[in-house]
Amino acid sequence: MYHKFNITYYFVYLSKRINYEIAMTY
């Protein structure tokens, strides 16, 4: 369960980082 939570948290962090990079580009 902890491993699954870690993966979900990682994906959320990744999506936020991608959105942040896109916002910085434009």
Domain assignments of the chain as residue spans, ordered by start: 1-26
Percentages (nearest 5) of helix, strand, coil residues in the chain: 90, 0, 10
pLDDT digits (tens, 9 = 90+) for 1-26: 566 778 889 999 999 999 999 888 77
Q: What is the pLDDT of residue 19?
A: 93
Q: What is the pLDDT of residue 25?
A: 79
- pTM over cut 0.75: no
Residue ranges with strand state E in the chain: none
